[in-house]
């Protein structure tokens, strides 16, 4: 049996030259687990003469962990690349030793960059170059030729100079990126400085400004992914202006050079220990031969029920049914920056009978979010928040994907669950505002009370009692006030949103942050009458909720009142008598010795009739009513096909009931 063995001098050729063997055979002398990254492993490879340091990526590492690879095993490297210090091995084949032969180290190898090894390599190259040169007198016409002049290239041994006909490798910036072997993303580390990756853009943030002690600046980030993993790259100041228009989500690029450092998990949500910072010598080239496509995103989904045990600010990915989409609202930060937000309600089949949680989108994600009713959507890079007990918040790098193709099995499972019985009995981890219930238990999203039932429940509260919450189906029918003596808004600070003092004649000032000026921003404080079939109640709707009911910002409505009274009245009239599903908070308040129940709107959304029908079916089935003789069998809330006409009929009945 012929035994395969490494070629002597192979390791030196791999590490020192650009003319590397395509599929070399090496011997594995040792391996050591990387404590910082369990998907990588540091190894020592040899050709019997020299040895060098290599790094196993996730595939070869898995082979070691499965005990398929032994020390002194012969390896055929089918896919590898070289960084400044390491041979990064992505794919390899195992070669057996000769039958009956013990697995022993071949030769007594020395490190390829040691003085002894470099001197031997230099002498070998010089000898090879000299033997390849023509002898004196052998030239054409009898003219003698001389050996080429010894170059100035020096080895890593200071006292040794040697000649070589091979020119030194050109700097990477002078080599076309397409001509260099790309490294997988999961092989990148801070010790490599001459790397190239070929990756698809999976996400790109907005170009935004920031202020610091050093002044104002620009920044954006872009997320890259390939088959091996994902990584975030950040770009600052003038480089941000240069690179931002170059990247498009779905396109593939070659990226070379940049600073690799430990990822700041406060801002990075990707599954990578490191991140890239672009520098002035960073190169980016579009791969024109790669058509734009939907990028494959590397998800690590966490069930909603498990969010309760996740620490604050933990980065998670979630796949869920979007059961509610709030309207976009605007707010002003303490620094005066205008922000847009939208609150979604997500649900999945985790927990006893399903769990739900609120997710807040910001900025461009809030403005552009589009999904069909009850679509299954994957969100990547959201953070766990303690707001409203437990909720999720999106960041600048958060991305979402409707019904991701690579997660088709999970998508179908959630669709089936929601269409059968998902709406009934879902427990929410998000508890409406600022408290809500003793013990911090999640709210019951399936509860529906009438205005009379809610008022009766509230009348039993004491002034010291915790607030109560419920959901009411009703109509916003009218408002109170609107004149100069009782406006629908108040003047607020454009920086911190606190109420300001003063008037239009003398100007306004904020006692909270010190702002002063003639143009404050206006925020709603709307006394709204909500009615249903059993009566009505007055609720206070603050800025975001009132903006959803009236359909425009308070500044715009005030401007309409000041310039065109008839248009102002028309806007208010058009907003009335529209159905909503109100989430309401109530607390007993005492004023001048008199107790009264004060209620305010936490959220107001358009009714989802199919959802409301499912809840009614679930309530009806609780009574276990006898089936009349000759009647069809009762409809179960979890039927998915034959019961659709019945559900539609019940849904219409719910709507007709609210229209009465």
Q: What is the pLDDT of residues 306-345, one digit of tens each?
A: 998 888 888 899 999 998 888 777 776 656 667 788 889 9
H runs (alpha helix) in 81-137: 115-132
Tokens describing residue 104: 């022993």
Same domain, 356 and 416: yes
Q: Per mean pLDDT, which range of 284-293, 374-383, 553-562 is the poorest?
A: 284-293
pLDDT per position as a tens digit, 422-466: 666 788 888 754 433 333 334 456 678 899 988 888 776 665 567
Select from 118, 133, 150 the last residue of a domain: 118
Could you say which DSSP state residue 626 is in? P
Of residues 20 and 141, more confidently modeled: 20
Residue 139 lies in a domain: no
Residue 138 lies in a domain: no
Q: Which residue has the tokens 């088709």?
A: 408
Same domain, 593 and 622: no
Phi-psi category of 243—alpha, beta or left, where left has phi over 0 and alpha has psi -120 to 50? Answer: alpha
602, 605, 607, 610: CA torsion to nearest 10: -100
Same domain, 523 and 654: no
Select from 230, 254, 286 the last residue of a domain: 286
Among candidate residues 273, 290, 191, 192, the one with its CA nearest the CA of residue 232: 273
Same domain, 463 and 586: yes
Q: How far apart are CA 633 and CA 649, in angstroms?
A: 16
Residue 125 lies in a domain: no
Residue 436 lies in a domain: no
Residues 370, 401 contacting (CB under 8 angstroms): no
DSSP string, 519-566: --EEEEEEEEEEEETTEEEEEEEEHHHHHHHHSS-HHHHHHHHHH-HH
Q: How far apart are CA 13 and CA 10, in angstroms?
A: 5
Adjacent-strand bridge partners of 379: 318, 400
Same domain, 514 and 564: yes
Same domain, 379 and 400: yes
What is the model's pLDDT at position 579? 93
Same domain, 601 and 616: no
Same domain, 402 and 420: yes
SS3 content of the chain, % helix, strand, coil (to 5): 25, 35, 40
Among candidate residues 339, 350, 342, 442, the one with its CA nearest the CA of residue 400: 342
Query: Which domain covers residue 481, as residue numbers?
Result: 447-605
Adjacent-strand bridge partners of 642: none
- 581 pLDDT above the threshold of 50: yes
Q: Which residue has the tokens 């409707």?
A: 402
∠ Cα 188 30 61 (to 5°): 45
Among candidate residues 466, 427, 467, the one with its CA nearest the CA of residue 446: 427
582, 585, 591, 596: CA torsion to nearest 10: 70
Could you say which DSSP state residue 278 is in? -
Select from 257, 286, 315 the last residue of a domain: 286
What is the model's pLDDT at position 46? 92
Residue 548, CA distances (Å) to 40, 485, 510, 578, 601 in order: 51, 24, 27, 12, 11
| Kind and range of the H or E run holding 658 | helix 644-659
Number of structural domains (the chain) is 5
Residue 110 lies in a domain: yes
Residue 491 lies in a domain: yes
User: Helix (H, G, I), strand (E, B), or coil: what is residue 200?
Assistant: strand
Residue 124 lies in a domain: no
What is the model's pLDDT at position 642? 42
Same domain, 415 and 325: yes
Residue 165 lies in a domain: no
DSSP string, 462-496: -TTSPPEEEEEEEEEEEEE--SSSS-SEEEE-TTT
DSSP string, 154-198: B-SSTT-B---SSPPPPPGGGS-GGGSPPBPGGG--TT--S-EEE
Q: Per mean pLDDT, which range of 231-240, 324-333, 483-492, 539-548 is the poorest?
A: 324-333
- 84 pLDDT above the threshold of 70: no
Same domain, 633 and 552: no
How many angstroms separate the first and last alpha carbons of the chain? 92
Query: What integer is the mean pLDDT of 4-16?
Result: 83
CATH of the domain at 94: 2.40.50.140
pLDDT per position as a tens digit, 370-393: 888 789 999 988 999 887 778 999
Same domain, 228 and 342: no
Q: How far apart are CA 489 and CA 523, in angstroms?
A: 5
- 163 pLDDT above the threshold of 50: no
Of residues 301 and 164, more confidently modeled: 301
Given pLDDT bands bounded at 50, 70 and 90, which one contains residue 634? low
Q: How far apart are CA 597 and CA 471, in angstroms?
A: 17
Same domain, 369 and 401: yes
- 496 pLDDT above the threshold of 50: yes
Non-local CB neighbours of 149 within 8 Å, separated by 6+ positions: 163
């Amino acid at each position: 049996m012929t035994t395969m063995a490494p070629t002597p001098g192979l390791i030196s050729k791999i590490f020192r030259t650009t003319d590397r063997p395509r599929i070399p055979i090496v011997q594995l002398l040792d391996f050591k687990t990387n404590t910082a990254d369990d998907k990588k492993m540091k190894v020592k490879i040899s050709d019997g003469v020299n040895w060098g340091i290599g790094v196993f990526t996730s595939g070869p590492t898995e082979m070691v962990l499965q005990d398929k690879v032994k020390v002194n095993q012969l390896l055929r490297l089918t896919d590898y690349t070289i960084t400044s210090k390491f041979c990064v091995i992505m794919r390899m084949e195992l070669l057996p030793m000769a039958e009956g032969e013990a697995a022993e180290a071949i030769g007594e190898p020395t490190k390829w960059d040691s003085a002894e090894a470099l001197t031997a390599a230099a002498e070998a190259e010089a000898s090879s170059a000299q033997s390849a040169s023509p002898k004196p007198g052998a030239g054409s016409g009898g003219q003698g030729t001389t050996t080429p002049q010894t170059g100035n290239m020096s080895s890593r041994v200071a006292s040794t100079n040697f000649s070589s006909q091979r020119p030194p490798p050109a700097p990477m910036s002078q080599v076309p990126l397409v001509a260099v072997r790309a490294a997988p993303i999961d092989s990148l580390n801070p010790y490599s400085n001459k790397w190239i990756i070929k990756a698809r853009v999976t996400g790109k943030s907005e170009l935004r400004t920031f202020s610091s002690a050093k002044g104002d600046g620009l920044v954006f980030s872009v997320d890259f992914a390939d088959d091996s993993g994902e990584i975030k790259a950040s770009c600052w100041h003038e480089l941000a202006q240069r690179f931002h228009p170059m990247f498009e989500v779905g396109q593939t690029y070659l990226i070379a050079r940049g600073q690799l450092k430990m990822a700041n998990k406060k801002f990075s949500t990707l599954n990578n220990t490191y991140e890239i910072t672009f520098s002035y010598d960073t190169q980016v080239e579009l791969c024109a031969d790669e058509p734009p496509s939907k990028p494959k995103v590397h998800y690590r989904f966490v069930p909603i029920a498990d969010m309760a045990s996740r620490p604050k600010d933990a980065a998670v990915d979630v796949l869920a049914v979007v059961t509610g989409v709030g309207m976009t609202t605007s707010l002003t930060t303490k620094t005066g920056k205008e922000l847009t937000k939208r609150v979604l309600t997500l649900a999945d089949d985790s927990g006893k009978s399903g769990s739900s949680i609120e997710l807040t989108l910001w900025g461009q994600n809030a403005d552009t979010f589009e999904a069909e009713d009850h679509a299954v959507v994957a969100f990547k890079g959201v953070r766990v928040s303690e707001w409203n007990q437990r909720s999720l918040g999106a960041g600048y790098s958060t991305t979402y994907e409707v019904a991701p193709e690579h997660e088709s099995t999970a998508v179908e499972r959630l669709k089936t669950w929601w269409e059968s019985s998902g709406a009934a009995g879902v427990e929410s981890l998000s508890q409406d505002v600022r408290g809500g219930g003793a013990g911090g238990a999640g709210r019951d999203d399936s509860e529906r009370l009438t205005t009379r039932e809610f008022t009766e429940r509230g009348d039993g509260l004491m002034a010291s009692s915790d607030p109560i919450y419920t959901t009411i189906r009703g109509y916003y029918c009218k408002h109170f006030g609107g004149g100069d003596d009782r406006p629908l808004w108040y003047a607020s600070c454009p920086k911190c949103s606190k109420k300001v003092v003063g008037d239009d004649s003398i100007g306004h000032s904020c006692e909270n942050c010190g702002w002063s000026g003639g143009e404050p921003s206006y925020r709603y404080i709307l006394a709204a009458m909500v009615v249903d079939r059993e009566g009505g109640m007055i609720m206070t709707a603050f800025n975001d909720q009132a903006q959803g009911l009236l359909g425009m910002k308070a500044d715009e409505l005030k401007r309409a009142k000041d310039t065109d009274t008839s248009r102002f009245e028309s806007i208010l009239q058009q907003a009335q008598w529209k159905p909503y599903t109100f989430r309401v908070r109530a607390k007993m308040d005492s004023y001048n010795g008199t107790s009264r129940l004060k209620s305010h709107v936490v959220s107001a959304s358009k009714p989802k009739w199919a959802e409301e029908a499912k809840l009614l079916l679930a309530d009806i089935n609780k009574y276990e009513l006898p089936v009349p003789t000759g009647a069809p069998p009762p409809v179960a809330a979890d039927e998915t096909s034959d019961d659709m006409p019945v559900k539609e009929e019940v849904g219409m009945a719910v709507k007709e009931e609210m229209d009465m």
